Amino acid sequence: MSSLEKERQDFLSTIEALNEAHSFDRIIWKPRCKRRTFRLI
């Protein structure tokens, strides 16, 4: 695997992780924001 391919792979898995984190945030934070509870889990 060339270094360019490796970089692209890393980039894609980073994007994937960010997307997962984003949907996690949506699930966790939106209901809490509506109830006006700004506590960390």
Q: Which of 29, 31, 27 is nearest to 40 (CA)?
A: 29
**Which of the pair, 3 or 31, is modelled with greater confidence?**
3
pTM of the model: 0.44
**Which of the pair, 34 or 7, is modelled with greater confidence?**
7
The parent domain of residue 37 ranges over 1-41
What's the rounded mean pLDDT across residues 21-34?
63
For 2-27, how does the pLDDT look when each residue is reduced to its tens digit (9 = 90+)? 999 999 999 999 888 877 777 766 66
Number of domain units in the chain:
1
